[in-house]
Amino acid sequence: MPTIVLRNPLIVLGQLHALTKPRVLQLIVFCALVGMVMAVPGVPTLSEIQRAILACVGIWMVAGAAAAINCLVEKEIDAKMKRTSWRPTAQGQVDVLLTLLFSSTLCAAGSVLLYFWINPLTMWLTLGTFLGYAVIYTVILKPLTPQNIVIGGSSGAMPPVLGWAAMTDQVGPEALLLFLIIFLWTPPHFWALALYRVEDYRKSGLPMLPVTHGINFTCLQILLYTLILLAACLMPFVYGMSSWLYLLVALGLSLIFVIYAFKLWRQYSDELARQTFKFSLVHLSALFAAMLVDHYLF
CB-side neighbour CA atoms (13 Å) of 37: 18
Whether 3 is in a domain gets the answer no
Whether 2 is in a domain gets the answer no
Whether 162 is in a domain gets the answer yes
Whether 261 is in a domain gets the answer yes
What's the average model confidence in pLDDT over 270-279?
98
pLDDT tens digits, 13-48: 999 999 999 999 999 999 999 999 999 998 999 999
In terms of Cβ atoms closer than 10 Å to its own Cβ (0-12, 13-18, 19+), residue 2 is exposed
- What DSSP state is assigned to residue 7? P
> Using 50, 70 and 90 to split pLDDT, how confident is the model at 219?
very high
27 is in which domain, residue-wise?
Answer: 8-170
Other CB atoms within 10 A of residue 80 CB: 17
Helix axes 9-19, 96-113, angle to 10 degrees: 70
Whether 179 is in a domain gets the answer yes
Residues 6 or more apart whose CB falls under 8 angstroms from that of 190 comprise: 149, 153
Q: Is the pLDDT of residue 4 over 70?
A: no
Whether 1 is in a domain gets the answer no
Final residue belonging to a domain, choices 110, 143, 170: 170
Residues 6 or more apart whose CB falls under 8 angstroms from that of 236 comprise: 174, 177, 178, 242, 246, 250, 291
Do residues 71 and 92 share a domain?
yes
Do residues 133 and 239 share a domain?
no
| Alpha carbon distance 187, 271 (integer Å) | 19
Final residue belonging to a domain, choices 118, 150, 170: 170
Q: Using DSSP, state whether 162 is helix, strand or coil.
A: helix
Which amino acid type is present at position 260? Answer: Y
Other CB atoms within 10 A of residue 92 CB: 9
Do residues 153 and 226 share a domain?
no
Do residues 152 and 182 share a domain?
no
Q: Tell me if 264 sits within 8 A of 273, measured CB to CB.
A: yes
pLDDT tens digits, 39-75: 999 899 999 999 999 999 999 999 999 999 999 999 9
Do residues 140 and 176 share a domain?
no
CA–CA distance from 128 to each of 41, 63, 167 (Å)? Answer: 28, 11, 18
Other CB atoms within 10 A of residue 71 CB: 23
Whether 113 is in a domain gets the answer yes
Which of 161, 146, 133 minimizes the C-alpha distance to 55?
161
Q: Using DSSP, state whether 146 is helix, strand or coil.
A: coil
Do residues 235 and 126 share a domain?
no
Number of domains in the chain: 2
What's the average model confidence in pLDDT over 238-261?
97
Do residues 180 and 213 share a domain?
yes
- Predicted TM-score of the model (pTM): 0.94
Final residue belonging to a domain, choices 136, 170, 204: 170
Do residues 254 and 179 share a domain?
yes
Return the CATH number at 26: 1.10.357.140
Biggest CA–CA distance in the chain, Å, is: 73
Do residues 149 and 16 share a domain?
yes
Do residues 139 and 192 share a domain?
no
Whether 193 is in a domain gets the answer yes
Residues of the chain above pLDDT 90, percent: 84
Do residues 114 and 18 share a domain?
yes
Do residues 154 and 19 share a domain?
yes
